[in-house]
Amino acid sequence: MELRQLRQVLVLSETLNFHRAAERLHMAQPPLSTSIKKLEEELGVLLFERLSTGLQVTPAGEAVLQNAKRALFYADEIRRAAREGMAGEQGLLRIGFVGSATYSLMPQIVRGFHRQYPRVDLVIEESTTTELLRRIEDHSLDIALVRHPVLSPTTALLTVLQLDHLVLAVSADSALAQRGKVAIADLAAEPFIAYSRTLVPAMHVLTMQVFQDAGVRPRIAQEAVQVQTILGLVESGLGVALVPAVVQRYASNGVRLLPLTDMPSKYTVGIAMATLADALTPAARNFIAVAHAAVQPMAQSS
């Protein structure tokens, strides 16, 4: 049984005439008659009764027609899915992200991608930069938005999408909150909430280097992984922290973000996109294009 035979049965049931059906199928009548007869022999039933007044679909033919229509529909769906999959318009895309990417970058990119490619199913997972890079390398993720800079060696291609600078987060009811700006040297006596040295090693090293350059040894009171957790600890009065300035629009009223007067300009943070260049699916390539288009207006407005 072939799809062409099912299509022939469908057209013949609509015309109930071999000659007209052959014309619609752009074929000669004898091959059509032979094809239908072979299908009937294969199925062991008559699909059409040959009457003097023309053809009539048999009960068995009616049952076959119902399923033939379904089979032809799904065959067309498979063809369309193959075309859309080749163009990256359908399929599955696995994306990982760090928590700080959700402040502005991640929602904007995902919204734009979903609007352009609604038939692509997204699997989105949050984790740390170290874990996300490992999963990119073992092909269990297609794309990851990770913290920049990345200090550990990786085979992933890293493309910086967004750059930011560090600011000081303090509790709204602390003495520091009354000041317009703060020097790093003023933080020597303050309890400091640091990024986890094991789970967020790059951010831990970066913030420690900021203190070292200022000749300050921070008094680490707590360690945390996610920026939102760090802000919660700051609001609780457990210490101060260095966080990306982008969190300003999402910080609660219980936290004040202050500029640092002696922060070297070389210390920038941000979000980078991690991929494996030789393992990109069409959907992943489309996501990358949407991501670049999304960050251009942000770069121009900054």
User: 40 is written with which tokens?
Assistant: 């009937």
Residues 170/255, Cβ–Cβ less than 8 Å: yes
Separation of alpha carbons 37 and 30, rounded Å: 11
* Residue 302: predicted pLDDT: 47
* Residue 86: predicted pLDDT: 64
Whole-number Cα distances in Å, 173 to 14, 20, 205, 285: 80, 87, 29, 47
Separation of alpha carbons 248 and 206, rounded Å: 20
Going by DSSP bridges, is the β-strand pair 120-126/91-97 parallel, antiparallel, or unpaired? parallel
Going by DSSP bridges, is the β-strand pair 54-57/48-51 parallel, antiparallel, or unpaired? antiparallel
Separation of alpha carbons 95 and 222, rounded Å: 30
- Backbone φ, ψ for residue 88 (5° rounding): 75, 20
Whole-number Cα distances in Å, 81 to 10, 74, 87, 135, 237: 23, 10, 10, 27, 55
Helices 282-301 and 59-86, packing angle to 10 deg: 50
* Residue 297: predicted pLDDT: 52
Residues 144/132, Cβ–Cβ less than 8 Å: yes
Q: For domain 92-302, give its CATH number from 3.40.190.10, 3.40.50.970, 3.40.190.290, 3.50.50.60.
A: 3.40.190.290
Q: Which amino acid belongs to residue 263?
A: M
Residues 6+ apart with CB under 8 A from 12: 18, 21, 32, 36, 48, 55
Residues 6+ apart with CB under 8 A from 81: 90
pLDDT digits (tens, 9 = 90+) for 158-208: 999 988 889 999 999 999 999 888 999 889 899 999 999 998 888 999 999
DSSP assigned state of 119: T
Domain ranges in the chain are 3-86, 92-302
Q: Tell me whether residue 156 is exposed, middle or buried, using C-beta atoms within 10 angstroms of its C-beta: 0 to 12, 13 to 18, 19 or more.
A: buried
Q: Computed over its alpha carbons, how large is the radius of gyration of the chain?
A: 32
* Residue 44: predicted pLDDT: 92
Question: Tell me: domain 3-86, CATH 1.10.10.10, correct?
Answer: yes
pLDDT tens for each residue of the chain, 302 residues long: 888 899 998 999 999 989 999 999 999 999 999 999 999 999 999 999 988 888 999 999 899 998 888 888 778 767 776 665 666 677 889 999 998 888 778 889 999 999 999 989 999 999 999 999 999 998 899 999 999 988 888 999 999 998 888 999 999 999 999 988 899 988 989 999 999 999 888 899 999 999 999 999 999 999 999 888 999 999 999 999 999 888 887 788 899 999 998 887 788 888 999 998 887 888 888 999 999 998 875 544 44
pLDDT digits (tens, 9 = 90+) for 219-253: 999 999 988 899 999 999 999 999 988 888 778 88
pTM of the model: 0.65
Whole-number Cα distances in Å, 33 to 8, 48, 238, 276, 281: 10, 11, 86, 55, 45
Helices 3-15 and 29-43, packing angle to 10 deg: 110
DSSP string, 122-177: EEEEE--HHHHHHHHHTTS-SEEEEEE---S--SSEEEEEEEEEEEEEEETTSGGG
